[in-house]
Amino acid sequence: MFTISLKTNQYLTYILRDDEALSSLEVVPERGGIITRWKVQGQDILYLDEERFTNPQLSVRGGIPILFPICGNLPDNIFNYQGQTYTLKQHGFARDLPWTVTKEETDESARLTLVLSSNEQTLAVYPFEFELTFIYQLQGDELYIFQSIKNNSSDKMPFSAGFHPYFWTKDKSKLTFDIPGSQYYDHLSKQTHPFSGQFDLTQDEIDVAFKSITRSNAIVKDNERQFQITLIYSGLYSTLVFWTVKGKEYVCLEPWSAPRNALNTGEQLDYIEPGETYEAWVEMIYTPLSS
């Protein structure tokens, strides 16, 4: 049985449930359309910094923030378009603005549709009219996110899109990874290094980008909690970013459509023609590990 219910704490929260699978998903449209919690078979999959979440002046650290129209940051937060300079902060504005719920479905799955459209606030920092439509679908042990990005401008629209999932872990030393890349670019050292399949998780911070991924899925395996999360993504996504900070109970494995500063460099940047729509999707699958 699939249900969608509401609760109100500081923000109105939509709760999607699959009772048979003992799975649930919490979505807060007002706080950037963010997924704050995903639980499967009694396991909390996502980390959430509750203190930051309650402060609307701070970006959320936790859940699955939405990245649009850039991923990462721009030098000095600036890009130029047709002779004009615009200021666009890290990861864009979609994760900060309120989204509108337009549809709820509970027939064959629990599905919630949210929309974010351009407005005076977005046009001041990103001179394109757009409409984003996201569908969050919960079914069994799977979370599916469908994305539709429409260009309502008269010019072709450059953009990057992505997600920033925070996977909760009690012990990072018990994690293993299957990431489809043989090298990564380190955002901290500004150097490229070979990747042998594991990170040195004792470092103070790891912030790296796999820019040449070789397949459309990656896996984070938690050997202490005895499950793995498989991240599957459509062809829009060309980059995987791994980020974590020492002392924090999370690792982030982020599908991006383009690397940092693509709006200025054009590296792997995507465009949508006027009146056209680009569709993409990301899926996350929970799988228990055999004992």
All structural domains of the chain with their residue ranges: 2-288
Residues in the chain: 291
pTM of the entire structure?
Answer: 0.96
Say how far apart CA 247 and CA 30 lie, in whole Å: 29
State CA 213 to chain mean position distance. Answer: 17
Query: Which residue intervals of the chain are DSSP H helices?
Result: 50-53, 120-123, 262-265
Strand pairing partners for 205?
245
Return the pLDDT at 291.
Answer: 53
Question: Does CATH number 1.20.1250.20 belong to domain 2-288?
Answer: no
User: What pLDDT, on the 0 to 100 scale, is given for residue 254?
Assistant: 98
Residue 217 in contact with residue 230, Cβ under 8 Å? yes
What is the Cα–Cα distance from 33 to 106, expressed in whole angstroms? 19
Pseudo-torsion of CA 198, 185, 249, 218, nearest 10°?
-60
**pLDDT tens-digit profile of 8-42?**
989 999 999 999 999 999 999 999 999 999 999 98
Kindly report, residue by residue over 82-126, the tens digit of the pLDDT: 999 999 999 999 999 999 999 999 999 999 999 999 999 999 999
b/e map of 257-271 (b: 16 or more CB within 10 Å)? Answer: bbbbbbbeeeeebbe
**pLDDT digits 0-9 by tens, 156-214:** 999 999 999 999 999 999 999 999 999 999 999 999 999 989 999 999 999 999 998 99
Which residues pair with residue 135 across a beta bridge? Answer: 113, 146
Helix (H, G, I), strand (E, B) or coil at 168: strand
Mean pLDDT of the residues in the chain: 96
What pLDDT shows up at residue 261? 96
